[in-house]
Amino acid sequence: MDILYAALVLGGMGLLFGGLLTLTSKVFAVPSNPTRDAVRELLPGANCGGCGYPGCDGCADAIASGKAPVNACPVCSAEAAEAIAAAMGVEPADASARLVAKVICQGDIDRCKTKFNYTGIQDCVAASLVSDGNRACKYACLGLGTCVKACPFDAIHIDEHKKIAVVDEDKCKACGKCVAACPKGVLDLQPVTRPVRLMCRAAEEGYLVSDNCRVGCIGCERCAIACKFGAITMVNNLPVIDMEKCVGCMMCAESCPTGAIWADWDERKIAEINPEECIGCGLCKRQCQFEAIIGEKKQPHEITSACTGCGACAAKCPKKCITMKVREHTRDRHAKVGTTPEAVLAVNPEDAKVKPARTPEMEAKIQAALAAKAAREAAKQGDAKKDTETPVQTAEAEKAE
């Protein structure tokens, strides 16, 4: 009987507490959000945290409440992102704004000097503890694969010949794990499409960079001078590109003496004027800062191959007869010589202002870098000559000296 009473008491308590829990869940129930639930169903469920929120539930809450964009999840495919946008009742995000990891370094073993042969643990963190790495430039990619191990999507690998990290943009989900793992800070999340990029982080100048790497930024400021739109400022001897001001003319990359600024040359634009609609007002000619438009007043104008594709003329054309297209030939900077008459420049004095030439400090930086390069080439030629000389020739040369 004691066992029966105990069973009845426990059963009664279970029914009582169950009823209380049911009543509590009804009274304090949180109304479901169909939109949030729909978004959550479309998320991949990876819970990787790459979106910056605590798992997919947190990401769904943020998207549904408008605190995060519809493409906040970096793991979602383009189709899933479009479905999430449809569930939210908004336009899909621009695919060109998708972030991917970028290697901000071009200093492979053929371009950047090696200080010593590293034979320790094949890991960038371990190598960086030994004299700050084996590369002569302390900002260079060490190429030992720490980022490869950190990437959960197999989107990054090390080039076997160049010994530098390479990102597969199609596989990259912009989770940021490789960025966090890199001890050199070489990786960065950037939009997948961009007209120009700075591909160097060496915050030094002149020969301090050029002695170590052939494609490093030497801080000569030529890019800042070449930019006609005020999109480049120099910070710590490196150009900082304001993409809000950048018009994609790519003159910064064209003027860079070392190739430290990358440009998407395949997508460089050129203006094209429809002669049947052009009234020869000259507004486009006055807007062009590269002297790439020719033509007499009240006559159809033409675009020369000096055009940089900045689009300033198309924006100001009152007849909207100028279109921008991808150019088929390389820009000819000599095509602008003598194309702008003084009479046109006098119409708008502000447009006629020319930026000042390089300062003595800028010129000194450039000359120092060029002198260091010439010295290195001379030293190489001397070493090559010694290697080809026979011992007898060497002895005779030393005797003559």
* 291 touches 260 (CB < 8 A): no
Domain stops at, among 312, 333, 352: 352
Q: Whole-prediction pTM value?
A: 0.69
Could you tell me which residues come within 8 angstroms of residue 341 by beta carbon, excluding any fewer than 6 positions away? Answer: none
* Closest C-alpha among 143, 131, 250, 123 to residue 198: 250
Least confident of 188-197, 248-257, 372-381: 372-381
Residues 257, 362 within the same domain: yes
Least confident of 58-62, 203-207, 237-241: 203-207
- Report, in this order, helix, strand and coil percent for the chain, each rounded to 5: 40, 10, 50
Give dist(CA 44, CA 74) in Å, integer: 10
pLDDT at 285: 92
Residues 212, 323 within the same domain: no
Residues 172, 315 within the same domain: no
pLDDT at 146 over 90: yes
Give dist(CA 369, CA 356) in Å, integer: 22
Whether 163 is in a domain gets the answer yes
Please report, for the chain, how many H helices and E strands are present, in that order: 16, 12
Residues 202, 323 within the same domain: no
Give dist(CA 274, CA 243) in Å, integer: 30
Whether 168 is in a domain gets the answer yes
Q: How many domains is the chain built from?
A: 4
Residues 189, 201 within the same domain: no
Q: What are phi and psi of 271, to 5 degrees?
A: -80, 150
Across 262-284, average pLDDT: 94
3-class secondary structure, 330: coil
Give dist(CA 368, CA 388) in Å, integer: 31
Across 346-356, average pLDDT: 42
DSSP structure class, residue 214: T
Whether 5 is in a domain gets the answer no
Span 149-181, pLDDT tens digits: 999 889 999 999 999 999 999 889 888 899 999
* Closest C-alpha among 264, 263, 105, 107 to residue 199: 105
The domain that contains 124 carries what CATH number? 3.30.70.20
Residues 246, 367 within the same domain: yes
* 114 touches 131 (CB < 8 A): no
Domain stops at, among 75, 93, 111: 93
Domain that holds residue 48: 31-93
Terminal CA-to-CA distance of the chain, rounded, Å? Answer: 121
Domain stops at, among 336, 352, 368: 352
Whether 15 is in a domain gets the answer no
pLDDT at 306: 93
pLDDT at 348: 44
Residues 202, 178 within the same domain: no
Residues 244, 371 within the same domain: yes
Residues 71, 207 within the same domain: no
pLDDT at 364 over 80: no
pLDDT at 244 over 80: yes
Q: How confident is the model at residue 371 (pLDDT cuts 50, 70, 90)?
A: confident
Least confident of 132-141, 204-213, 238-247, 382-391: 382-391
Give dist(CA 189, CA 171) in Å, integer: 14
Whether 122 is in a domain gets the answer yes
Give dist(CA 126, CA 115) in Å, integer: 16
Span 12-34, pLDDT tens digits: 888 888 888 888 877 776 667 88
Residues 321, 210 within the same domain: no
Whether 23 is in a domain gets the answer no
Give dist(CA 326, CA 140) in Å, integer: 34
Residues 155, 290 within the same domain: no
Residues 215, 361 within the same domain: yes
Burial of 154 (0-12, 13-18, 19+ CB in 10 A): exposed
pLDDT at 252: 96
